[in-house]
Amino acid sequence: MTELDKTQVKAWALARSIFGANQTMCEGNHIANCFSPQFPFNDSIHLSSNGGLQFSYSSLDKLVGQGFAFPKVKSFFISPVLCFKSMVALLKIKGLYSQIHPSFNQVRAIFRASVEATLAFANHYSPAREILEGEKGRISFMIDGLGGILNVGQNQKGLWAVIETSTDEKASVILIFQDLEYALLSALGKTNHLTDPVIGKFALHGRITLIEKFGFVSRLALNDLPTPKR
């Protein structure tokens, strides 16, 4: 398991969040994801495994927080076609956050981005990994009346990941959001985990300690990362 320091894990989390948002959109359109981030190296990170856009840590932070940043120029000379596809994808991701009225697909993509950032910390940053140490099982996130958003569990390598599940496989814990708007606010880290369940913003069923620990890691991650502008 690769251990990353605080600066590196922030860059990795941002890159994985971009991958996650685009993965959801690509699955809906039945196309391949142009992003497959590589671990950060020498203060920069590649958003694709075979070239593509390369950003410094500070530029990646600006890209996510402000919606635009310049990648390293050499990226376009190495793989111009992939870079062009990636720039188009980044513009589409930016559009997700500026959408006024939330849609199910929009919320799924943004929620996936948030979860991927959380998983980066859970797998590769020791203070976060220790919180989930010894835990296992599946977490299912849903929206009341609309169905499932995604499932989180451990993959074959023992890493926490977004996973596919069969319909007859039982989740260890289920979190059900009241509506689309609240699920979106949760993905953006703008909810209160203490009071919101009391007033019916979300409901929990199953092993509560697992989702509490995952939520703690999520808050740890999102507090250190820029929030995309809406």
The CATH number of whichever domain residue 134 belongs to comes to 3.30.1050.10
Q: Are residues 118 and 177 in the same domain?
A: yes
For the cut 70, the answer to whether the pLDDT of residue 28 exceeds it is yes
Distance CA 33, CA 227 (A): 23
Would 112 be classed as within a structural domain?
Answer: yes
Q: DSSP code of 140?
A: E
Q: What residues does 177 pair with on adjacent strands?
A: 143, 202
Predicted confidence (pLDDT) per residue in 69-91, tens digit: 999 999 999 899 999 999 999 99
Distance CA 24, CA 39 (A): 21
Would 52 be classed as within a structural domain?
Answer: yes
For the cut 80, the answer to whether the pLDDT of residue 229 exceeds it is no
Would 227 be classed as within a structural domain?
Answer: no
What pLDDT was estimated at residue 166?
A: 66
Asked which of 42, 74, 98 is the last residue of a domain, the reply is 98
**Sorting pLDDT into bands at 50, 70 and 90, what band is 34?**
very high
Would 26 be classed as within a structural domain?
Answer: yes
Domains contained in the chain, number: 2
Would 45 be classed as within a structural domain?
Answer: yes
Predicted confidence (pLDDT) per residue in 131-181, tens digit: 999 999 999 999 999 999 999 999 999 999 999 876 667 899 999 999 999
The overall average pLDDT reported for the chain is 93
Q: Are residues 186 and 203 in the same domain?
A: yes
The SS3 of residue 100 is coil
Would 116 be classed as within a structural domain?
Answer: yes
For the cut 80, the answer to whether the pLDDT of residue 230 exceeds it is no
The SS3 of residue 225 is coil
Q: Are residues 134 and 208 in the same domain?
A: yes
Q: What is the pTM of this model?
A: 0.95
Tell me what the mean pLDDT of segment 200-204 comes to.
93
Would 228 be classed as within a structural domain?
Answer: no
CA separation (Å) from 221 to 116, 123, 187, 203, 226?
10, 12, 12, 23, 10
